[in-house]
Amino acid sequence: MNALVTGGAGYIGSHTSLALLRQDMDLVVVDNFSNSHPEALARVKALSGKDFPFYEGDVCDATLLDRIFSENAIDCVIHFAGLKSVGESVAQPLRYYENNLISTLRLLQAMGAHQVKRMIFSSSATVYRSDSPMPVDESAPLGCLNPYGWTKFMCEQILRDAAVADPKLSVVLLRYFNPIGADSSGQIGEDPDDIPNNLMPYVAQTALGIHKHVNVFGDNYNTPDGTGVRDYIHVSDLADGHVAAIAYAMEHTGSEAFNLGTGVGYSVLDIISAFEKANRVKVPYVIGPRRRGDADAVYSNPDKARRLLGWQAKKTLTDMCRDTWSWQQKNPHGYRTGS
């Protein structure tokens, strides 16, 4: 099995690349480092003790893709490459539509030209309508609130249509909930470029003293403690979900969507107190106003992935907090630490 991993230097791509190598699969990585660092790939190689071909470039570049597919016998594409900041997508919608849609179209065209029939796509829980009843399952109606979400919605539709047109194609749409944590080595992890938008990296940086306190975005949501509830999943569990998805794609054709979550919701205050307890650190916080567009509670029904992929999340919230802290302490400035 030889997988082409687009965006393999990124947060989820690097952990999935490591999981594939640990399963003795071969891979080829392409990334333009628009939101990542070459050091991530060096560490994946060091942790796995294995090498793999790497192409630096843009997945929207048809000539580059033709070269990659010509030079490597690819069995399956795992398409992580994409822009992912919700706020940035509101400010720069065309850049988001261009990057996320064109990369997917070019990949499908190159796969068609080179007879590659399997695609695992990084989708998101954000494709579900915000008023969906929780826990949400894959049959819930879709609808988005921002351009980032719409890019995922549209890519899903493009991929479903492609699978209808080519009965030999196998498309697996993985809808991630909230990935956090890091490989237990603390060598690879999430490396936000700027001040983090997401909760967990902000909590970890606050514990380290980089920020004075966490701003809790609202405590008057319709949740047990009033703060937002999400389905946090360890990134290594998520990575294993891709290994299971490849096995599924080997056996099936057509398109299928799967939630990758734990099925359990935790509030912002749950996360802060779990982080303090797991790591024996203080995480000061201040309750502030709500962030626009945030839902009360979003958590998955993960049964379909358990039944059809034979996959379920194994790691606990304590594991997620401990591994995030290990990565953060060893790499206070991410992959730039020490350089």
* Catalytic residue numbers, as ranges: 148
Contact between 41 and ligand NAD by CB under 6 A: the answer reads: no
* Among 83, 268, 274, 283, interactor with ligand UD1 by CB under 6 A: 268
Quick one: 59 or 204, whose CB is closer to ligand NAD?
59
DSSP string, 177-241: -EEE---TTSSS----SSS-SSHHHHHHHHHTTSSS-EEEE-S-SSSTTSS-EE-EEEHHHHHHH
Which stretch of DSSP H or E encloses residue 55? strand 54-56
The correct pick among 202, 248, 266, 327 for binding ligand UD1 (CB under 6 A) is: 202
| Min dist. Cβ of residue 250 to ligand NAD (A) | 22
* Closest CB 154 distance from ligand NAD, rounded Å: 13
Q: Binder to ligand NAD among 124, 146, 170, 259 (CB under 6 A)?
A: 124
The binder of 35, among ligand UD1, ligand NAD, none, by C-beta within 5 to 8 A per type, is ligand NAD
Residue from the set 61, 138, 219, 294 that interacts with ligand UD1 by CB under 6 A: 294
Q: Count residues contacting ligand UD1 (CB under 6 A)?
A: 19
Q: What is the DSSP annotation of 259-315?
A: EES-S--EEHHHHHHHHHHHHT----EEEEPPPTT--SEE-B--HHIIIII------
- Cα 231 to chain centroid, rounded: 13
Per DSSP bridges, beta strands 297-298 and 229-230 are parallel
Work out whether 7 is an interface residue with ligand NAD (CB under 6 A).
Answer: yes
CB-CB contact of 227 with 296 (8 Å): no
Residues near ligand NAD, by CB under 6 A = 7, 9-13, 30-36, 58-60, 80-84, 99, 103, 122, 124, 176, 179
